[in-house]
Structure 1
Amino acid sequence: MAKTILCVDDSTSMRLMVKLALNGAGYEVIEACDGRDALDKARAGAVNLVLTDLNMPNMDGLTLIRQLRALPTYKGVPIIFLTTESDESKKAEAKSAGATGWIVKPFQESQLLGVVKKVLG
């Protein structure tokens, strides 16, 4: 069965780019437009991996990670930040919130797939 990835980004084109790359590699993708939308979808059904942007309206990526980590089903689920931010203090904050990894935009498709394969095994 295909692994399911929740892709959270307020940019439709970014979600589409991620979805095309992941679908092409055999993953199923659920899209969410912000943290609040992502949290609703995450509660509706478990996913194997969460890819989230940092800066979004309604609920940012850091808040989303903290909320997901508070749910028993998401304690061990890998969460990767996909963001334009490359600031070390933001990375440290994300790590303490429970982020598994970090990919800086713009990214190469091969880089994205490499990280996804690594964390999903």
Structure 2
Amino acid sequence: HFEYALAQGGFKSASYVQVMDWIAEKASVTLAQTGRLTVVVQDNGSAHTSRLAQQQWLKWQAQGLFLFWLPPYCSEMNRIEEQWHQLKTHEIAGRMFEHEVDLADAIIEGMQARSSRGNYSLERFIFNSS
């Protein structure tokens, strides 16, 4: 199973909190149904460690979502980097995009193709545009 969020433009703390709230809601269901915790492994990106995000950590833990921090500057340990590398190398290599939305569509299509070939489920967080 692979979950991701795709944001056009910048990805700031508020967007990160929206995504993590979505994951925390799912973690809450998992905890209630199975007793299992959900762990998200992430780097030390500024959105991940912002004051806004830090204010949510205890709430997320109460929902069964725990954060595990990678050491700084260890991209080789960050599994998402592997996924983005494969996506860029195989699904969108050599393509040029005139508009941001075209790139977003290519990423979505590439993620769907990878999940089909890898036989895993895929879920994308969709930001509320209001």
TM-score range, shorter chain: 0.3 to 0.5
In terms of fraction of residues, the more strand-rich structure is 1
Please report the TM-score for the alignment, with normalisation by the length of structure 1: 0.36
State the structure with more CA Rg: 2
Please report the TM-score for the alignment, with normalisation by the length of structure 2: 0.34
Higher relative contact order (CA 8 A, sep 6+): 2
In terms of fraction of residues, the more helix-rich structure is 2
